[in-house]
Homo-oligomer: A and B are copies of this chain.
Amino acid sequence: MTSKYERANASDGQSRIPDIVIGRLPIYLRSLKILLSQGQTVTNSQELGDRLGISSAQIRKDLSHFGEFGKQGTGYDVAYLCKQLEKILQVDCIWPVVLVGAGNLGHALASYAGFENRGFRIVGVFDNQPDKIGTHVGSLQVEPLTQLPAHVARHHCRIAILAVPTKAAQNVANLLVEIGIKSILCYAPITLNLPEGIRVEYIDPVIHFQHMTYYLEKDCLKT
């Protein structure tokens, strides 16, 4: 579905940076931006690691894939490292995102104010139920699914949020791919089957719960 290594290291055309490293960068960025908002100007791999529960060596090695951002003896300039990470992740801009499914979850997402200052904006909300269409969610109005292709084309959307019922998810995902979406954040509790080159990430709280319960002392309600 998604090849793990797609982008070359800037300094070496051959080498690829492990996806697991890329996956940690947004965590670093999130923490750095909190430091920045608190007025801290300098940090170091130890401090950042302590905050995140990651070893300092891990952080240094991850960053070293992309360049030298720190100063020996001092650490990292918070604002500078933020900027660099935003550039690496390509979030030094605002990506337009379409949201499909204007149900309970869709409403929460559409009215969420925390996307914009981290690089994303929901530019359209779509549903196939007549009674949903025209209703307001956040600052947007729900549009019919038939408008989705034109909307994606007009806004050059490459990212979609899938917040439809499980039974509709695969079909809607197929449609999204057909009209040019490259990355899907899927909230439906199902693994989608999509062509190579389409990246799908999943959010399913129950997966997290079931992971947690493995480690808990059993003390739950009998069924």
Pick from A104, A114, A119 the residue with the most CB of B within 10 Å: A104
One of A56-64, A70-78, A143-151, A206-214 contacting the partner: A206-214
Residues of A within 8 A of B (CB): 1-2, 6-9, 22-23, 25-27, 29-31, 34, 51-53, 88-97, 104-105, 107-109, 111-112, 114-115, 118-121, 156, 158-159, 161, 182-183, 185, 189-191, 193, 199, 201, 203-223
B114 near A53 (CB under 8 angstroms)? Answer: no
- B30 and A207: CB pair below 8 A? yes
Task: Decide: A7 and B156 in contact? CB cutoff 8 A.
Answer: no
- With contacts A93-B221, A209-B119 taken as known, whether A27 is within 8 angstroms of B214 at the C-beta atoms is no
Interface of A is mostly: mixed
Instruction: State whether B190 touches A215 (Cβ < 8 A).
Output: no
Once the chains bind, are A199 and B215 in contact (CB under 8 Å)?
yes
A112–B206 Cα distance when bound, in Å, is 11
A209 and B190 form a contact (CB under 8 A):
no
A97 CB, min distance to chain B CBs, angstroms: 7
Report 14 cross-chain contacts, Cβ distance below 8 Å, ordered by A residue. A2-B215, A8-B214, A8-B215, A22-B211, A26-B207, A30-B206, A51-B193, A89-B210, A91-B209, A94-B220, A114-B189, A114-B206, A115-B209, A185-B209
